[in-house]
Amino acid sequence: MQLDSSIQYLAGVGPILFKKLQRLKIETMEDLLFYFPTRYEDFSQIVPISRIKPNQLCTVQGKILEIKAQQTWKKKMSLTQAVLQDESGAIEIVWFGQPYLIKSLKAGDFITTAGKAVVSKNGFYLSNPVYEKLDSSPSQNIEMSSIHSGRLVPIYPETAGLPSRWFRSAIYRLLQTFSNQMVEILPNSILQGENLMPVSTALWQIHFPDNQEQAQKAKTRFSFEELFLVELVVLQQRYRLNKEKSPCLPFNLELTKKIVDSLPFKLTDSQRKCAYQIFKDLEKTRPMSRLLEGDVGSGKTVVAVMAALNTIKNGYQAALMAPTEILAKQHFQSVARLLKPFKIKIALLTGKDDKIISQKLGHESKDGYIPDTLEISRSKILEKAKGKINPRTKDLEVGIDFLIGTHSLIQDKVKFGKLGLVIIDEQHRFGVEQRSRLVANKKGADSLITQLLSLPATTIPGTLALTIYGDLDLSVLDQMPQGRKPVITKIIAPTDRQEAYCFIKQLVKKGEQVFVVCPRIEPPKTENSELKPKTPWSEAKAVKEEYEKLSKEIFPDLKVGMLHGKMKTKEKDKIMQQFKNKKIEILVATSVIEVGVDIPQATVMMIEGAERFGLAQLHQFRGRVGRSDLQSYCLLFTESSAQATQARMKALVTAKNGFELAEKDLEIRGPGSLFGAKQWGIPDLAMEQLKHLPFVEKVRESAKEILQFSPQLKKFPLLGERVKRFGKKIHLE
Q: Taking 80 as the threshold, does the pLDDT of residue 333 lie above it?
A: yes
- 718-729 pLDDT, tens digit per residue, is 999 999 888 776
- Containing H/E element for 196? none
Yes or no: say if 356 and 374 are a contact pair by the CB < 8 Å rule: yes
- 299-309 pLDDT, tens digit per residue, is 899 999 999 99
What is the average per-residue pLDDT within 117-140?
Answer: 77
Q: How distant, in Å, are the alpha carbons of 305, 361, 531, 609 from that of 597?
A: 17, 21, 41, 21
How does residue 137 score in pLDDT terms, banded at 50, 70 and 90? low
Q: How much of the chain exceeds pLDDT 90, in percent?
A: 35
Mark whether 93 and 54 lie in a shared domain: yes
pLDDT the model gives residue 562: 92
**Phi, psi for residue 564 in degrees, rounded to 5:** -155, 170
Look up residue 292 and give its DSSP letter: E
Mark whether 545 and 561 lie in a shared domain: yes
106/657 Cα distance (integer angstroms): 65
Look up residue 200 and give its DSSP letter: H
The per-residue pLDDT of the chain, averaged, comes to 83
Q: Measured in whole angstroms, how far is the alpha carbon of residue 730 from the centre of its chain? A: 13
Question: Which residues, other chains included, contact 11 with Cβ-Cβ below 8 Å and sequence gap of 6+?
Answer: 173
Q: Taking 50 as the threshold, does the pLDDT of residue 536 lie above it?
A: no
Q: Residue 380: name the closest of 427, 407, 348 by CA.
A: 348
pLDDT the model gives residue 528: 47
pLDDT the model gives residue 530: 45
Mark whether 338 and 302 lie in a shared domain: yes
- 489-499 pLDDT, tens digit per residue, is 999 988 999 99
Yes or no: say if 287 and 244 are a contact pair by the CB < 8 Å rule: yes
Mark whether 327 and 452 lie in a shared domain: yes
Q: Residue 162: name the closest of 18, 344, 350 by CA.
A: 18
230/482 Cα distance (integer angstroms): 40
First to last CA, the chain: 36
Q: How distant, in Å, are the alpha carbons of 85, 372, 389, 474, 521 from that of 333?
A: 80, 10, 30, 27, 27
Question: SS in 3 state form for 114-176?
Answer: EEEEEEECCEEEEEEEEEEECCCCCCCCCCCCCCCCCCEEEECCCECCECHHHHHHHHHHHHH
pLDDT the model gives residue 413: 85
151/147 Cα distance (integer angstroms): 7
Domain membership of residue 33 as a residue range:
1-40+167-181
Q: Taking 50 as the threshold, does the pLDDT of residue 548 lie above it?
A: yes
Residue 559 Ramachandran class (φ > 0 left, ψ -120 to 50 alpha, else beta): beta
How does residue 312 score in pLDDT terms, banded at 50, 70 and 90? very high
Query: Looking at 656, 671, 700, which one is the last position of a domain?
Result: 656
Between residues 574 and 44, which one has the greater pLDDT?
Answer: 574
Yes or no: say if 131 and 25 are a contact pair by the CB < 8 Å rule: no
431/680 Cα distance (integer angstroms): 9
Q: Taking 60 as the threshold, does the pLDDT of residue 537 lie above it?
A: no
pLDDT the model gives residue 584: 94
Mark whether 12 and 59 lie in a shared domain: no
- Containing H/E element for 317? strand 317-321
Between residues 516 and 527, which one has the greater pLDDT?
Answer: 516
28/1 Cα distance (integer angstroms): 11
pLDDT the model gives residue 603: 94
Beta bridge partners of 404: 320, 348
Domain contains 703: no
Mark whether 5 and 132 lie in a shared domain: no
pLDDT the model gives residue 139: 46
What is the average per-residue pLDDT within 279-291?
Answer: 90
pLDDT the model gives residue 172: 93
548/367 Cα distance (integer angstroms): 28
Q: Residue 426: name the closest of 464, 469, 465, 456 by CA.
A: 456
Domain contains 10: yes
> Per the structure, how many domains does the chain have?
4
Yes or no: say if 85 and 63 are a contact pair by the CB < 8 Å rule: yes
Q: Measured in whole angstroms, how far is the alpha carbon of residue 713 from the centre of its chain? A: 30
pLDDT the model gives residue 634: 94
Q: b/e for 410-447, b at 16 or more Cβ within 10 A?
A: beeebebbbbbbbbbbbbbbbebebbbbbbebebeeee
Most confident by average pLDDT, 37-46, 259-268, 682-691: 259-268
Mark whether 302 and 440 lie in a shared domain: yes
- 245-261 pLDDT, tens digit per residue, is 888 999 999 999 999 99
Q: Taking 90 as the threshold, does the pLDDT of residue 264 lie above it?
A: no
Mark whether 327 and 369 lie in a shared domain: yes
605/619 Cα distance (integer angstroms): 11
Domain contains 554: yes
The CATH code of the domain that includes 537 is 3.40.50.300
Between residues 249 and 100, which one has the greater pLDDT?
Answer: 249
What is the average per-residue pLDDT within 196-211?
Answer: 94
215/586 Cα distance (integer angstroms): 56
Beta bridge partners of 80: 69, 95
pLDDT the model gives residue 444: 41
Most confident by average pLDDT, 268-277, 638-647, 691-700: 268-277
What is the average per-residue pLDDT within 150-175?
Answer: 89
Q: In terms of C-beta density within 10 A (0-12 exposed, 13-18 middle, 19 or more buried), how is residue 401 classed?
A: buried
pLDDT the model gives residue 496: 92
Yes or no: say if 151 and 124 are a contact pair by the CB < 8 Å rule: no
Q: What pairing do the DSSP bridges indicate for beta strands 513-517 and 368-370?
A: unpaired
Poorest-pLDDT segment among 27-41, 232-246, 513-527: 513-527
pLDDT the model gives residue 190: 94
What is the average per-residue pLDDT within 186-205?
Answer: 94
Query: Looking at 415, 442, 457, which one is the last position of a domain?
Result: 457
Q: Taking 50 as the threshold, does the pLDDT of residue 709 lie above it?
A: yes
In the three-class reduction of DSSP (H, G, I as helix; E, B as strand; rest coil), residue 310 is classed as helix
Mark whether 416 and 539 lie in a shared domain: no
Mark whether 314 and 439 lie in a shared domain: yes
Largest alpha-carbon pair distance within the chain? 105
Domain contains 634: yes
The CATH code of the domain that includes 56 is 2.40.50.140
Question: How would DSSP label each residue in 459-483?
Answer: ---HHHHHHTTTTSEEEEE--PPTT
pLDDT the model gives residue 446: 56
How does residue 104 score in pLDDT terms, banded at 50, 70 and 90? confident
Domain contains 483: no
- 448-501 pLDDT, tens digit per residue, is 788 889 888 777 766 666 666 666 788 888 888 877 788 999 999 889 999 999
Q: b/e for 159-187, b at 16 or more Cβ within 10 A?
A: eeebebebbbebbbebbeebbeebeebbb
What is the average per-residue pLDDT within 275-300?
Answer: 89
Q: Taking 60 as the threshold, does the pLDDT of residue 433 lie above it?
A: no
Yes or no: say if 78 and 69 are a contact pair by the CB < 8 Å rule: yes
- Containing H/E element for 35? none
- 54-75 pLDDT, tens digit per residue, is 888 888 989 999 999 888 766 6
Domain contains 721: no
Between residues 196 and 440, which one has the greater pLDDT?
Answer: 196
Question: Which residues, other chains included, contact 654 with Cβ-Cβ below 8 Å and sequence gap of 6+?
Answer: none
pLDDT the model gives residue 427: 56
Domain contains 687: no
Could you give the angle at the alpha carbon of 551 between the alpha carbons of 549 and 555, nearest 5°? 100
Domain contains 375: yes
pLDDT the model gives residue 683: 66
Mark whether 316 and 358 lie in a shared domain: yes
Between residues 541 and 602, which one has the greater pLDDT?
Answer: 602
Between residues 432 and 622, which one has the greater pLDDT?
Answer: 622
Query: Looking at 656, 686, 709, which one is the last position of a domain?
Result: 656
How does residue 679 score in pLDDT terms, banded at 50, 70 and 90? very low
Could you give the angle at the alpha carbon of 371 between the alpha carbons of 369 and 376, nearest 5°? 165
Mark whether 641 and 496 lie in a shared domain: yes
115/129 Cα distance (integer angstroms): 4
Q: How much of the chain exceeds pLDDT 70, in percent?
A: 85
